Every structure is written in structure tokens, then in C-alpha cells.
Amino acid sequence: MKKEPAYISHFLNPQEVTPAYGNGGFHPLDVRIAYRNEIIKIRSRICEYLRFYQSDVKKLSRENLQQLNYMMTGYFTTDTFDRIMKERLFPIYDLLVDEARLIHNIIEFNEPFEIQHFTARNFSREYAKHTTEISHLLDDRLKELYLAEVKGLFAKNVDPQKSKEVFRVCNYFMHYINWNNSFAGFYETTFEVIPKGLKLIENFFSDKLQTVIKAYMAFSTQVKIIRRKFEKMNPGKISILSYFEWEKDIREYLLKNFDKIFGSKVAEKYVNSLHEVLYHYMLDSSLKQ
């Protein structure tokens, strides 16, 4: 089946101004997407990445603090935006190009779209999902899987005839742990404070969950290394550790690193485990649903 082309362009929305500043000269940056005879408009997300390039943006603002603040939140004057596009000024022009590439990738990933789902609201949600750091996706999903099995163990051990220690540890994890914190932080701290309790309940976990835990903890030691490498390779790119970057480069890079540390068999097992979690997350929340 021939793929439907998507036409993507950036523009300033003249009908909106930022209520925080109330200056009619600055307008939000939007994206126009034309696909299968439908046109939708969504808010650009490049401002979420401009913080990494604040010194470069400061130069573009010509040291004007007010204009810098506008630009860092995704608001531009017509003159500034035209200059960025005409002169291809780094990093904003590069981020715009990469945002268009990313939107193309999202559309290809979901091809063919059910056209009734191709709305600004749905696509904005889909875009947010694809530009979320995979470390956050893995962390959230792992906490879900972990708590699900902890709750199952808790229910099985309510009976006084069952293990009181398993019940006590599960109860503590369910009711006294702040799960808004990262899983890696929880796991490392718990392993130091109550290592026996942690090991005790892990004996009852599924093999799948045990593998995901080990894979994620190994991955967490590589995040900073991966980020630095790809930032150097891809200046002006959006969301270095995105799902698309995982598919394109990170997965293979991580496999090579794990191979050096754990050997090929364990490396493949860990990377496949992480990939399965990410793939099913993307599939479950896809526009196809």
C-alpha cells in the first residue's frame, strides 16, 4: 500500500498571545499538518528543548531579557521568526526541522491512520507520547508491573496461615513508599535498608518481572552515557532518548554496551526485555486503539 504523504510547516499563530506577558507582538509557534485531505494545527513543542540551548537562544534574542523569556516559552515576533527561517539560525531552525521529521515518523508509525482519529487533540497526545523520554516510560511501566505483583502477593498472604514477613514487606511497599520517585531510587535505597525483605518478595515475582528489574537497573547506569553520546552526535535534535531514537540507534548501542558487561546472552535478554516493555506501551496507547 502506498503511504500517504504528510505536509508539515511551522507558523506563528497571530490570533493568540501569551496571557503571561500580554504583549501583542509575540505569538505562539504552531505546527500545521496536512494529511489525507485533513488539516490540523497543534502547538509546537520545541520550547521544551530550548533549555538545553539557552546560551544560543540568548544570542538570537540579542541579549534582550524580555525577548529571551518569550522565545524560551515558544513565543516569537514575526521579524524574529522570519529571520530564523531565512538564515536557518541554530538551534531553533534545527529543532523545527527535527520536529517536522519527528511528526513524519509518528504518522509513518501509525500508518494508515483511521482518519476519524486524526484530530488536533488526538495527535497532540500522540506527539507527547512519542517525545517522552524512554527512561520515564520504562520507569512508569516498571512501577506498574512491580506494584501489580506486590499487590497480588499481599492478597495471597492476608491469611494468618501464610507468611507474615511477606505480608509485612508488601504492606510497607504498598502504603509507605512514595511511588512518585524513580524506581531506580526506590530499589537502590530499599536494597541498602532492607535487603532481606526485598530479596524475600522477589523470590515470588515472575521471571518476566525479575528480568525487567535487572534490565532496567542496568539501563539506568547507562542513561547519562547514552545521553552525552547522542547529544554530541545530534545537536539540535529533539528528545535524544525518545522511542524513535531507541528504534533507530539506542537499542543497538545499548546491546553492544551490555554485551561487554554481561556477555551476549544476558545482553540480548535484557535489551529484548526493555524493548518489549516499550513496544507494548507504544502499541497500547497508539492512535490505532
Condensed to tens digits (0 to 9), the pLDDT of residues 47-88 reads 988 888 999 999 988 878 888 999 999 999 889 999 999 999
**Three-class secondary structure assignment of 159-209:** CCCCCHHHHHHHHHHHHHCCCCCCHHHHHHHHHHHCHHHHHHHHCCCCHHH
Same domain, 261 and 137: yes
Same domain, 173 and 267: yes
Per the domain annotation, does 58 fall within a domain?
A: yes
Same domain, 78 and 194: no
**Is the bond into 112 cis (omega within 30 degrees of 0)?**
yes
284 within 8 A of 140, measured Cβ to Cβ: no
Same domain, 41 and 114: yes
Cell of 61: 534574542
Q: Give the model's pLDDT for residue 184.
A: 94
Query: Which of 77, 102, 131 is the C-terminal boundary of a domain?
Result: 131
Check whether 239 has a pLDDT greater than 70. Answer: no
Same domain, 26 and 153: no
Same domain, 200 and 145: yes
Query: Which of 114, 131, 148 is the C-terminal boundary of a domain?
Result: 131
145 within 8 A of 209, measured Cβ to Cβ: yes
Same domain, 118 and 169: no
pLDDT (mean) for 199-209: 94
Per the domain annotation, does 189 fall within a domain?
A: yes
Per the domain annotation, does 1 fall within a domain?
A: no
**Is the bond into 28 cis (omega within 30 degrees of 0)?**
no
Condensed to tens digits (0 to 9), the pLDDT of residues 3-53 reads 678 899 999 998 876 655 555 588 999 999 998 888 999 999 999 888 889
Query: Which of 99, 131, 163 is the C-terminal boundary of a domain?
Result: 131
CA 90 from centre of chain: 23
The one-letter amino acid at 272: N
Three-class DSSP category at 2: coil
Cα separation, 56 vs 44, whole angstroms? 19
Per the domain annotation, does 205 fall within a domain?
A: yes
Q: Give the model's pLDDT for residue 24.
A: 53
Per the domain annotation, does 148 fall within a domain?
A: yes
Same domain, 97 and 114: yes
Condensed to tens digits (0 to 9), the pLDDT of residues 142-182 reads 999 999 999 999 998 877 666 789 999 999 999 999 999 99
Q: Give the model's pLDDT for residue 287.
A: 39
Same domain, 149 and 278: yes
The helix, strand and coil proportions of the chain, stated in percent and rounded to the nearest 5, come to 65, 10, 30
Number of domains in the chain: 2
Same domain, 68 and 153: no
Same domain, 127 and 160: no
Per the domain annotation, does 188 fall within a domain?
A: yes
Share of the chain above pLDDT 90, in %: 53
Check whether 288 has a pLDDT greater than 60. Answer: no
Burial 173-190 (b: 16+ CB within 10 A, else e): beeeeeeeebbbebbeeb
The one-letter amino acid at 205: F
Q: For the whole model, what pTM was predicted?
A: 0.72
Same domain, 35 and 158: no
The DSSP string of 4-61 is: PPEEEEEEE-TT---TTT--TT-EEEEEEEEETTEEEEEE--GGGTGGGGHHHHHHHT
Per the domain annotation, does 91 fall within a domain?
A: yes
Helix axes 164-176, 195-202, angle to 10 degrees: 110
Average pLDDT, the chain: 86
State which residues form the domain around 67: 6-131
Cα separation, 123 vs 41, whole angstroms? 9
Cα separation, 167 vs 170, whole angstroms? 5
71 within 8 A of 61, measured Cβ to Cβ: yes
236 within 8 A of 179, measured Cβ to Cβ: no
Place of cell 506498574: 144
Per the domain annotation, does 168 fall within a domain?
A: yes
